[in-house]
Each structure stands twice: as structure tokens, then as C-alpha cells.
Amino acid sequence: MLGKGDQAPDFELYTSPDKKLSLREFKGKNIIIAFYPADWSPVCGDQISLYNEMLKYFKNHNAELLGISVDGKWCHAAYVKDRNLHFPLLSDFEPKGLVAKQYGVYNEQEGQCDRALFVVNVNGIIEWSYLSPRSVNPGADGILAALEGLDSKNKQ
């Protein structure tokens, strides 16, 4: 699993049936990448819903949130609509799990992403990462602490 100081591998993935997003487009912003096992599963639901409530707190730290799972783009589209989500979910679908593998957070047995968090700074370097047990919603305190660390670094 990649960690502090590593370059965050770039990617370009579908976020909706007709639109792709890449990491490099977000240069100049802090990026939170949340890998999660699957749309619709109950624990993710909690985690994803929680993060959906937190977007304005993330924005205060010049940060955007991207969710990544192996679910297809149509599945993401339905999930985003059902849960009223206001941040992009990306499909690590073809080749399956490629991006998760590059970040070292792919579970071969389950064929799903692990539940893992990365905070990437404005220069594309990973500032903080965390692997959560699959069934545990990691909350967001670690993300906020990492973003606050970046803020104080930028002030120096």
C-alpha cells in the first residue's frame, strides 16, 4: 500500500456513463481518495453518506473527494442518484481493479477494493494513507487531521 511521500499514481476513470475524470485535472487541490468495496453495501453506505455530509468541511481545506470502487459506471450513476451524493464516484472497472492495485489496496480474493483512504497534496504527493478493516467505517477524523496538517505546512 502506498504511503506518505509516494507519488500518487494518475488515473482516468469513468464517473458517469459518458464522462471520465483524471487525478491530474485536480492539480492545485488537495484530493481525498476513498477506495471502498462496493456500492450499496451497508457499511460503505454509512461511510459514503458520512463523507457526503462533509464536503463543505473538506472544501474549507481546498480538498475534493473522489470515491473509487470496482462497480460499473451505471451502478455508480444509480447509487449517486439514490443517495443524493454530491461528489464523484469512479469506476475501477476495466481493467478491473487496476488503479486499486497501483495504490496497493486491491483484495484479490473478494475482487473488490479494500477500504482505504489517501490524502494527496496539491503537488500529487501522498500525505497520509489509512487501511481500514473491511467492515469498519473509518470515519473522517484522520482525513481532517491530515488536511489540517497540510494547512499548517502551507502557512509556514
Partner 1 sequence: MTGTLKPPFNSTDHFQGPAKAAIELVEFGDYQCPHCGLAYFVVKKIQKHFGQKLKFVFRNFPLSEAHEFAFQAAVASEAAARQKRFWEMHDILFEHQSALSMHAILGYAKDLGLDGIQFEKDLKDDSIASKVESDFENGIRSGVNGTPTFYINGHRYQGNYDFDPLAVALEAPPL
> Which residues contact partner 1 by CB under 8 A?
46-47, 49-50, 52-54, 57, 83-86, 130, 137-142, 144
Specify whether 113 is catalytic.
Answer: no
Q: How far is the CB of 140 from partner 1 (least distance, A)?
A: 5
Q: How far is the CB of 142 from partner 1 (least distance, A)?
A: 5
Q: Give the separation between CA 139 and CA 15, rounded to whole angstroms.
A: 23
Q: How many CB atoms lie within 10 A of CB 55?
A: 15
Query: Are 92 and 84 spatial neighbours (Cβ–Cβ below 8 Å)?
Result: no
Q: How far is the CB of 46 from partner 1 (least distance, A)?
A: 5
Q: Which residue, 50 or 125, has its beta carbon nearer to partner 1?
A: 50
Q: Which residue, 1 or 50, has its beta carbon nearer to partner 1?
A: 50
DSSP 7: B
Q: Which residue, 23 or 144, has its beta carbon nearer to partner 1?
A: 144
Q: How many CB atoms lie within 10 A of CB 115?
A: 24
Residue of 43, 44, 100, 120 with catalytic role: 44
Query: Are 58 and 147 spatial neighbours (Cβ–Cβ below 8 Å)?
Result: yes
Reference 36, options 103, 119, 132, 123; nearest CA is 132
Query: Mind telling me the catalytic residues?
Result: 44
